[in-house]
Structure 1
Amino acid sequence: MDASRGDTARREDRQACLRSARPNFLVLAPLCAGLAVLTARLEGAPLARVDTLLVLLAALLAHAAVNLLNEHHDFASGLDATTRRTPFSGGSGALPGRPAAAPLVWRAAVACLAGVVVIGSWFLWRSGPWLLPYGLLGLGLVVAYTGVLTHRPLLCLLAPGLGFGVLMVVGAHQALTGHPSSLAMTVSLVPTLLVSALLLLNQVPDIDADRRVGRRHLAILLGRRRAVRLAGMLVLAAFLVVPAGVAVGLLPAATWLTWLLAPAVAWLVRGLWRLNVADVAALVPWLGANVALQLGTLALLNLGLWLAG
């Protein structure tokens, strides 16, 4: 009987740990890292299958690590006890439901970070020391985001986009090719703007709870209405990257595929601008629409780069 209870407890701990990684949202990382693979391919780099898989795996592990650390920090700080959760904000709720899993979540975060370091070290050894700044800054963002950067409004806005955009796309491109690229840098601006908008918008329902635990991110500083409108403007700016990039010859014409979603962008931006921000329940469908739009945009950008190659 005791052994059976122990097996059940371990299984529940593992399930809570998996939920804390927020697997439903981890598709974002391979979509961003995939841009690096495709820009490297477009520039004629000979891509080994193992290298491609390692780049995608490192991105996935980094994303899982920041999610796990965020869940553990929010549980340990007491924030989870005061947060009103939505499907897109407020955390998974796994640890409040299973507090005993907290040490496992911490160990899983450390293991994910260790995996990123091992993969990064391999590429550093092979491609040269110019990759080191990407790796150090990326690790710093993962470790410091929840505990440090959420108290610094501008850095909190920029950090997610910088991590998933510039560092993940440009850094992975350089890991695969051995050199930086104006193509990769231009492409990276799309996830940079989109992911910063995503995190800013998802912070809006948590403003009151975050303020109570001493956070000071940009949504708190601006207030709900201005934060929501700024998120919409960032999404719009991300869509303008493609025509600007094509016009100056930095992006291939096939990347215009992202503009298949232009009507949805116009609808989203208009809706966010006119939204009654006092009603958190009314915001939730827009959070979902924003997530779907961003994933669709990145998928189409990947497709456009693939077709261009």
Structure 2
Amino acid sequence: MSFFQRLAALAAIARAKFLTLTLVCLLVAACYSAQSVALELELLVQVVLIAFSAHISVNVFNEYFDHRSGLDGLTQRTEFSGGSGTLERHPELARSALWLALASLVVVIGVGLSLTLEFGSELIWLGLLGCVLIYFYTNYFNRFAWLCWAAPGLGFGICMVVGAIWVFQGFIDAGAWAIGSYVGLLVSNLLLLNQFPDIEADRQVGRRHLAIRYSFPFARGVWLFGYIIAADLLMTAVWFGWLPAVALSALLPLLLLVPISRRLWQLRQPVATPGQWGAVLGVQVTLIHLSLLVLALALVLS
């Protein structure tokens, strides 16, 4: 394998094409903070470095641990679930993948500690939570149904978005918590739906997420309820003046829930094929990206 082939394989293991989620999360945090302060380029660079390193680290740990557990050999992959399959095709890259995950985590810790020294020791608790989520999500949190559901939202919504706002504007207010919680609910739902095609494979390696611990219909109901709570949260934040009224425009992309829900209630796990699941998962990815982009634009216009 040439150097460039190896580099491309590691990019696939890091799931580089899915890092756009981090980008839109940071965009929302930056646009919210810009309402009250002028963003400093140095802080922006540090936050971007931490956020992307964290996302890469958790992705690569997920690929590495799923390869080690044998899960990669059991899943029927879609474009949006089941991992990249790169380590199944190139098991000799497992050690390199582990080093990439660890190196990315070291970047998160190193840059995070420098920000903690600047903004106060309280920030370290968000950083510590983030590091725990990165390392333990795949191997441990997936064995506890509700923790598995909440972990992605805590990572992206609270650690990333609220943490970024804290660094950008120097404090956290009610609007920051509202935006972080909204993002968190969307991301938890993103990962929840992505688990549906892999229920039987996950069960074989000891995972116990919602669809396994309870049932597929139960997990499907939690998924829909999560979006209802997210919409209510955004409307509540506007009602109390924590966010500008134009932020409600972020709810418009949630109309895509209609075709997703219709299709999701027609599917029967595990009868549905990877192609059928991939279509549903793709629309949800579009929904979440659009909602966060519209929210960022609304905050700029306000």
For the criterion TM > 0.5, the same-fold answer is yes
Per chain length, whose mean CA-contact separation is higher, i.e. which structure has more relative contact order (CA < 8 Å, sep 6+)? 2
Unaligned runs of 5+ in 1: 1-7
Whether 1:233 and 2:225 are equivalent positions in the alignment is yes
Q: 1:18-167 maps to which residues of 2 (within 5 A)?
A: 18-42=11-35, 44-167=36-159
Contact 2:254 2:287 (8 Å CA) reproduced:
no
Local SS of the residue matching 2:122 = helix
What do residues 118-140 of structure 1 show as CA deviations (whole Å, max 9, x unaligned)? 22112111111110100001000
Shift of 1:254: 1.8
1:293 is aligned to 2:287: yes
Tell me the TM-score normalised to structure 2 length.
Answer: 0.94
Q: Secondary structure at the match of 2:247?
A: helix
2:296 counterpart of 1:306:
no
Q: CA deviation at 1:32?
A: 1.3
- The partner residue of 1:197 within 177, 189, 196 is 189
How far apart are residue 232 of structure 1 and its match? Answer: 2.4
Pick closer, same or farther for the CA change 1:272–1:248 going to 2, 3 Å: farther
Partner of 2:172: 180
User: Residue type matched to 1:200 in 2?
Assistant: L
Per the alignment, residue 235 of structure 2 pairs with: 243
Residue 5 of structure 1 aligns with which residue?
none
Gaps of 5+ in 2: none
Question: What residue identity is the alignment partner of 2:67?
Answer: F
Secondary structure at 1:236's aligned position in 2? helix
The Cα of 1:49 is off from its aligned counterpart by 1.3
Equivalent AA in structure 2 for residue 212 of structure 1: Q
Find the aligned partners of 1:252 and 1:270 in 2 and give their Cα distance: 32
Mean Cα deviation higher: 127-136 or 78-87: 78-87
Q: CA RMSD in A?
A: 1.6
SS at match of 1:207: helix
Deviating runs (4+, > 6 A) in structure 1? none
Contact 1:164 1:192 (8 Å CA) reproduced:
yes
State the shift of 1:187 in Å.
0.8
TM-score, normalised via structure 1 length: 0.92
Matched pairs, number: 300
Q: C-alpha displacement at 1:212, in angstroms?
A: 0.8
Percent identical residues: 37
Give the Å deviation of 1:278.
4.2
